[in-house]
Structure 1
Amino acid sequence: MVAADRIAIIIDDIGNHPEDLAAADLPGDITFAILPFTPYGRSFALKAHHQGKQIMAHVPMQALAGNALGLGALTADMSSAEIKLKLRQVLDDIPYVAGINNHMGSQLTQLTQPMQAVMESLKNHDLYFIDSRTTEYTVAEKMAQSYQVPVARRHVFIDNETDEQYLTEQFDELIQIAHAHGSAIAIGHPYPETIKFLKQRLKSLKEDDVQLVFASELTVKSELSIASGLFKTGQ
């Protein structure tokens, strides 16, 4: 019998280190978010895809703190055309992409025009969006719904700290949210401690009474059409 409550686990920041390749060996339907134009991103995507995993592009977006963004970044000073071109380049770099989520982005995801351009691109490429929710003021979900792009949000970061007690507490919170709402999404990173923890904890999902699914399976696509006033931005 399939558990009614579902969780998705996204491992972010894949691609900069050869050690990241080991994360592809995690059991089950894990989703991996790969940074574009990184030394090991493409080879990881190929390996993970052939092991039955789901691939996302982890797209750098401008942060309020002015963090270094890396290659493939989307910034507030870009035109809609520039954003769409950059996203196409990102998607050309990473094979087997099914969706994207934001890397940083506490500034960009608050801005309507850039997020409109992002969602237009995703709509055209039949991709989904996961809002990492690096700011409470994000408009990304709203824009995705307006463009009928399948969308969901991150509920828990599991490894802001990497000691076992913290990891356990965060994973327990993920399970609790799933039981309360029917589903929940966690984001982690390819830290050795995280990978070791997940290899053990994922064995007990049956006891937790949850099913591990790909992030795409927890997205929702709005049936509402784009509001007529959405484009009246004066820009």
Structure 2
Amino acid sequence: MAKKKKGSNRRKSSGNKRPFAALLITVLLIILAFYLLEKTKRGASEKPAEKPQVSERLKMPSHPAPQAAKHAAYSAAVVAPVARVRPKPHPTGSGTVAIIVDDMGSSMQEVRSLMAIDIPVTFSIIPGLAKSKGVAEAAHGNGGEVMVHMPMEPKGYPKQRMEKNGLLLSESDEEIAAKVKAYLQAVPYAVGANNHMGSRFTENEEKMQSVLKVLKGREMFFVDSKTSPASVGYSLARKMGLKAGTRQVFLDNVQNVAAIKAQLQQVADTARKRGSAIAICHPHQTTIQALSSMLPALKKDGITFVYASQLVS
């Protein structure tokens, strides 16, 4: 009976050890699972550690920026908008312009420079100057057009100086007519005339009539330079049956190339709006420079340049 008891205790003891081993294995597996899970988390969190390497490279001055990056920065600087005053747009299209160059007759070089532009300009020559006849012959020989630039009494005379052969209000109609005929003799090939100065003379209808009678007898036209807004020259010429025109723009009151170019643009704009325009200028070096630059450009833009005789009616 005693031996049986011992065997039964051994089996009981061995049966108690199995659940404990199973529990231990389970615990170990759980611990292992937690360990692996934690390691996986740590590995995932360590991947973005590459970012500091980029910032470290950017901080290193010894490494120049790639060429493409330089171009991108340069392009951005170029295309960035710059605040500026935009010029007013000018009308486009066709228009007809006649340019009269006053005060010709003192230099042959002036007429050569103007003819070299190879665009029609009308030469208005003051009678009695040293080269008056030579300038008229050169212009005519080159196919150009000649006018007489008649000196007339200005406001402020005699303080305001004038040519010695100029027309005066104090002169008789016969004296005025004789002077005008002498002008035409001194300037060969002239087909028309305009006033030089004359801000006072052109306001006087009686004296202007004496001038215009001579021009009408020679079938010449008259262009009113409009040195006075009260001039009767244009309206009287039309009334008397002469072909006539009037100046729209003075080009070179300001002796500056940029200013003269702006006035030329104004003439072109006026011609496009009205159909035609007459401009007056003088043979200054700055004026010749501006004409040489602008006339070909305006012609290319659709402006037609003609002689003054083609714009009188």
TM-score (norm 1): 0.89
The residue aligned with 1:216 is 309
The residue aligned with 2:147 is 56
The residue aligned with 1:140 is 233
Q: Identify which of 127, 131, 134 aligns with 1:36.
A: 127
Larger proportion of helix: 2
The residue aligned with 2:258 is 165
The residue aligned with 1:229 is none
| Pair 1:168–1:104, CA change in 2 (3 A) | same
- What is the distance in 1 between the residues matched to 2:164 and 2:191? 20
The residue aligned with 2:287 is 194
Q: Identify which of 190, 194, 206 aligns with 1:113.
A: 206
The residue aligned with 1:85 is 178
Q: Answer yes or no: is the 8 Å Cα contact 2:108–2:134 preserved in 1.
A: no
Q: Answer yes or no: is the 8 Å Cα contact 2:153–2:201 preserved in 1.
A: yes
Q: Answer yes or no: is the 8 Å Cα contact 1:45–1:55 preserved in 2.
A: yes
- What is the distance in 1 between the residues matched to 2:94 and 2:257? 28
AA at the equivalent of 2:146: I
- What is the distance in 2 between the residues matched to 1:79 and 1:57? 21
TM-score (norm 2): 0.67
Q: Answer yes or no: is the 8 Å Cα contact 2:108–2:135 preserved in 1.
A: no
Deviations 1:163-194 (A, max 9, x none): 22201110111011101110001111111111
- What is the distance in 1 between the residues matched to 2:240 and 2:176? 16
Deviations 1:31-52 (A, max 9, x none): 0000001001110110111111
AA at the equivalent of 2:136: A
The residue aligned with 2:75 is none
Deviations 1:3-53 (A, max 9, x none): 852100000001124543333433221100000010011101101111111
- What is the distance in 2 between the residues matched to 1:20 and 1:35? 14
- What is the distance in 1 between the residues matched to 2:170 and 2:285? 37
1:103 aligned counterpart, secondary structure = strand
Deviations 1:54-94 (A, max 9, x none): 00000000000212221431110111111111000010001
Could you tell which deviates more after superposition, 16-25 or 66-75? 16-25
- What is the distance in 2 between the residues matched to 1:93 and 1:46? 11
Q: Answer yes or no: is the 8 Å Cα contact 1:55–1:96 preserved in 2.
A: yes
Deviations 1:96-142 (A, max 9, x none): 00100000000000001111111111110110001000000001112
Q: Answer yes or no: is the 8 Å Cα contact 1:175–1:208 preserved in 2.
A: no
Matched, 1:26 2:117: yes
Q: Identify which of 169, 172, 175 aligns with 1:76.
A: 169
Q: For the pair shown, which has the larger CA radius of gyration, 1 or 2? A: 2
Number of aligned positions between the proteins: 218
AA at the equivalent of 2:151: P
Matched, 1:9 2:102: no
- What is the distance in 1 between the residues matched to 2:166 and 2:291? 30
AA at the equivalent of 2:140: H
Q: Percent identity?
A: 33
CA-atom RMSD, angstroms?
1.4
- What is the distance in 1 between the residues matched to 2:303 and 2:283? 23
- What is the distance in 2 between the residues matched to 1:4 and 1:177? 11
Unaligned runs of 5+ in 2: 1-92
Unaligned runs of 5+ in 1: 221-235
- What is the distance in 1 between the residues matched to 2:235 and 2:257? 36
| Pair 1:29–1:73, CA change in 2 (3 A) | same
By relative contact order (CA 8 Å, sep 6+), the higher-ranking structure is 1
